[in-house]
Amino acid sequence: LPAAGQGKAPPGGRRGRDGPGAAGAARRRKRALEPGRNKATIKGRVVKSAIEEYHKKKPVDHLRENLRYMLKGRLVADKAITEKVLAQNRGRKSKDQPPEKAEKKKPEGTVFTEEDFRKFEREYFGIP
């Protein structure tokens, strides 16, 4: 038997709100009511010139300005400082390091002349 005071719910009372898609349906209804621009029409759209867009994105050559700027300052940095900066900018791997310059060895020459050798022979061996 049904409990006292409870009967069937009146038809159409809460019927559409309890499903899994209830929140989505409410959102769709709300979106449909909002006034918005119809994206399918061309009204209010500004036509862009392809040439202007190309000129906007074209790379600009700054060579002259850069040269003028570089030549303006005549201060020359010290050689040791420039070497230090270049060393900092180089990588730490061995392939990034410049080859070490080996000091050129001078061919070993003798300090003695032929005359000195002859004199030594005479004194040491007793050859006249």
Q: pLDDT tens digits, the chain, 128 residues: what are they?
A: 666 666 666 555 555 555 666 677 777 776 666 566 666 777 777 788 889 899 889 888 999 999 998 888 777 789 999 989 888 888 888 888 888 888 877 777 778 888 998 898 888 887 65
Taking the model in full, what pTM does it have?
0.23
Structure tokens at 26: 């409410």
> C-alpha distances in angstroms, 8 versus 3, 14, 80, 104?
11, 12, 97, 110
